[in-house]
Chain A
């Protein structure tokens, strides 16, 4: 039997496209419409790729165990640990993230999301100078000038351009495609740079300099700018500054190309202050291109519950936040954690080597439906239902809009919310009886 399900939400990237059409044949996904290549792979590759049940490393062997045994192991490891790290959270629902924050408090652990290795620096900058942001709907309907800085949406957020910027229709522009100008700033000529009206190619690590130069030009102090700034000719900087000032509504989107390079959060602070500067002349906004489907949700949820957006340390009994000290990479690199719970993320593929080595040494419990790079490093992997396929929950789009994902097939896998609830309740019992 073939079913067509409309208005499915893609659980891949921070765009959270909510117009996907899925075709299900005999309980399996057989077709996808409207999604980009990344989203289509997410849905179509699901069948046949999941772990059948929990697997555990015993000595030099992997053995299948039951969900009950897996939960028991997780409860024992987490309740006995002195410095447990609860990391990941960006691919799961906000409902699961909330349990993660409460669990950290219960066991005196550290809860951190993948934010710390993507837009953590952006949050640090926003904490310093604020965030002149807006929703993607505003950008779609009003923006005539778009900047992608250190971001390559054609490969990382493929429908961002068609849903919200260059190729999208706009309520307040007559011929949006003609009227919109796209400026791309990057160290490499990415596929996004190919479609730009203006491509600014800078030297690696030159973002801070170029932003400072643009700010000076907008302030009317172009005279102090040298002929070349980090590989960019002054004439081009003047042209870009002019385009920005002439915009009726501008939107700057920045990616991890600027959060990960030298200067880190200071780059973002400079970008926000560049937008502030432009706002003396016209209307500009700035927003991070959040990667994972619900990484923004983790910041929201952790902030409601703990007061801090990521890297929250409960070892003192109260919430403590100090990125650089309480962030996952630092805790692992210092070999401090004595147990780890990894939720819906893959540090094996995305963390520095020294952190992976430590994860392989300590009891590491991984929640992931699929075998990943972390699978080879962990002690126990528990597969759960996939949020947006066989589980529903709330996720936050990159502009902070909460969207309810849909469950459209039944597979029998427990959801990570159910699993985390069980683990939380049992650990609470253990603590109460101690």
Chain B
């Protein structure tokens, strides 16, 4: 199913910006809020995981249902998981399309990478944990 993903700050995300490798930040920024009807169509329950794919790139996310989200859209707090789905085009403005990624969403049993593991996939070397 195609979902247009919006991003933004949340209190939990914002409270842990200086602790980006904490379990709280990891949990918050890798949790996609979806409309419960869309979740039923995808075939997932609260807390289950999906794979979100844009332009051939996938990231695994946890899902929670949220009645305030309109059908066909999703909300993913800003952070490395949301941005893994964003392309580098800025339409000559310097600003990428942070709030409009249209992702293909499907149920998955795969594990969600930690922030360090996600950065490792991008060519980095996890520090600490």
Contacts and interface: CB of A to CB of B under 8 A. Distances in A.
A260 B100 CA distance: 8
A376 B86 contact: no
A189 B94 contact: no
A353 B14 CA distance: 21
By DSSP majority rule, is chain B's interface helix, strand, loop, or mixed? loop
Given A38-B15, A156-B9, A204-B99, 14 more contacts: A49-B18, A116-B94, A120-B93, A188-B6, A260-B99, A261-B97, A262-B100, A323-B93, A353-B88, A356-B83, A360-B122, A372-B18, A373-B79, A376-B127
Contacts of A55: 127
Nearest to B94: A327
B127 A330 contact: no
Contacts of B15: 37-38, 41
Given A257-B99, A350-B83, A38 B11 contact: yes
A328 B78 CA distance: 19
A15 to B, nearest CB: 13
Interface residues of B, number: 54
Interface string A58-86: 00101000000000000000000000000
Interface in A330-378: 330, 332-333, 346, 348-357, 360-361, 370-373, 375-378
Nearest 10 A/B pairs, CB to CB:
A327-B94, A333-B88, A360-B123, A324-B92, A376-B119, A376-B124, A354-B88, A323-B94, A377-B124, A41-B15
Interface string B1-32: 00010101111001111111100000001000
Contacts of B78: 349-350
Chain A interface size, as a band, is 35 or more
Given A37-B11, A348-B119, A376-B127, A124 B93 contact: yes
Interface in A299-332: 311, 323-325, 327-330, 332
B95 A373 contact: no
A29 to B, nearest CB: 13
Contacts of A261: 97, 99-100
Interface centre among B6, B69, B122 (most CB of A within 10 A): B122
